[in-house]
Amino acid sequence: MPRNPLNRSLGLARATKQDEFYTQLSDIEKELRHYTKHFKNKTVLCNCDDPKVSNFFHYFSHNFEKLNLKKLITTCYKNCDADLFSQHKDESGIYLEYDGDKNNNRVPDPNEIGIHKLKGDGDFRSEECIKLLQQADIVVTNPPFSLFREYVEQLVKHKKKFLIIGNHNAIIYKEIFRLIKENKLWLGYTHPVAFVVPDHYEMREVRSWRTEDGKNWRSLGNACWFTNLDIAKRHEELPVFETYTPKKFPKYDNYDAIEVARYKEIPEDYDGVMGVPVTFLEQYNPDQFEIIGSNRWVGQDPNGVYGRGSHLNGKETFKRLFIRRRKSIK
């Protein structure tokens, strides 16, 4: 029987893109501490996670009572261990269900974890995995970077809350930027750097190392958290102190907007459109500023104004977001 094309694309992503990056527990803890209030009586789905190596399953199962979770569901792509405590492997995917501690030892024991075999290989886009997604209130995981667009599209389609790791460059993907512009997605707090990778991944000359316990590591440097869960920093006003001068903040050759090379230098006395680096999103307060476009992805603007590269004195600038104040300066 020919293999499902969805499953084949996920397999190719893993094989050719090397998409398996296992998140450190410490990085999960650093980020998740900002979202505690969101998890009370909620069902959490981690749908790209091998429980044998996934620290997402570890985090939520060991903090189940602390977070007052209702249920934890984890799905695993094929070839993961069906038995958490053996080396048995299977071509089918599995999913785990955990609904809390039963013997008051505050540890998720094997007999408390329901292990179920999937009919298919666990592709997050399969019908059976979508049914599990529909049960969830919040999705938390580290999905394949090469399938990030599809992954987010599915979450939005099913109106799910989420907290996921992705490549920072995804900000300028047309599908992702549209959500950011419409305030349907934003960045989290922290930036995971070091990830464990499978043994068969080749060691690289830089940003790659092996520890004494035999684990292979890679440093990405451009990973971040994407979410649609409300967080405190979105409501913190960005302090601005600079004074506008045409010399310090020149206009672009092809946009009616000024260049602000660093978001910390946004002038306090300028009301017009400003081009800022994408790092601005780290401090973006939608009540203070409005994102109106970017200098990437031509199809973003029905009026054809934004989406073209921005130029200063004939030279193209780096990636820029175009913003303006929500409230005029008095």
Write out pLDDT tens, residues 138-169.
999 999 888 999 999 999 999 999 999 999 99
User: Quick one: what percent of the chain has pLDDT higher than 90?
Assistant: 64
Partners of 95 in the beta sheet? 75, 116
pLDDT in tens, 237-267: 999 999 999 999 999 999 999 999 999 999 9
Q: Say if residues 145 and 218 touch (Cβ distance below 8 Å).
A: no
Average pLDDT of the chain to the nearest whole number: 88
- Residue 53's pLDDT band, with cuts at 50, 70 and 90, is confident
Q: What is the DSSP letter of 166?
A: E
Rounded distance between C-alpha atoms, residue 295 and residue 301, angstroms: 11
Lowest mean pLDDT among 118-127, 222-231, 267-276: 118-127
Residue 86 confidence (pLDDT) = 37
pLDDT in tens, 13-26: 345 567 778 899 99
pTM of the complete model: 0.88
Tokens for 10, please give them.
Answer: 């996920």
Residue 330 confidence (pLDDT) = 56
- Residue 186's pLDDT band, with cuts at 50, 70 and 90, is very high
Token pair 């998140």 is found at: 23
Q: Is the pLDDT of residue 84 over 60?
A: no
Rounded distance between C-alpha atoms, residue 308 and residue 287, angstroms: 26
> Taking the domains of the chain in order of start, what are their residue ranges?
5-231, 236-325
- Residue 177's pLDDT band, with cuts at 50, 70 and 90, is very high
CATH says 5-231 is which class? alpha beta
Tokens for 20, please give them.
Answer: 């398996």
Partners of 164 in the beta sheet? 141, 226
Q: Is the pLDDT of residue 85 over 50?
A: no
220 vs 304, higher pLDDT: 220
Q: Is the pLDDT of residue 7 over 60?
A: no
61 vs 18, higher pLDDT: 61
- Average pLDDT of the segment spanning 169-175: 90
Q: Is the pLDDT of residue 2 over 50?
A: no
Residue 306's region, left for phi above 0, alpha for psi from -120 to 50, else beta, is beta
Residue 165 confidence (pLDDT) = 96
Helix (H) or strand (E) holding 60: helix 55-62
Rounded distance between C-alpha atoms, residue 112 and residue 99, angstroms: 8
pLDDT in tens, 188-239: 999 999 988 888 888 888 888 889 988 888 888 889 999 999 999 999 999 9
Cα-based distances in Å from 290 to 60, 183, 233, 284: 35, 10, 16, 9
Rounded distance between C-alpha atoms, residue 148 and residue 155, angstroms: 11
Tokens for 206, please give them.
Answer: 């830089």
Residue 259 confidence (pLDDT) = 97
Residue 315 confidence (pLDDT) = 96
Helix axes 148-157, 127-135, angle to 10 degrees: 50
- Residue 9's pLDDT band, with cuts at 50, 70 and 90, is very low
Residue 12 confidence (pLDDT) = 42
133 vs 54, higher pLDDT: 133
Q: Torsions phi, psi of 169, nearest 5?
A: -65, -15
Lowest mean pLDDT among 2-6, 28-32, 225-229, 240-244: 2-6
Residue 50 confidence (pLDDT) = 76
- Residue 92's pLDDT band, with cuts at 50, 70 and 90, is confident
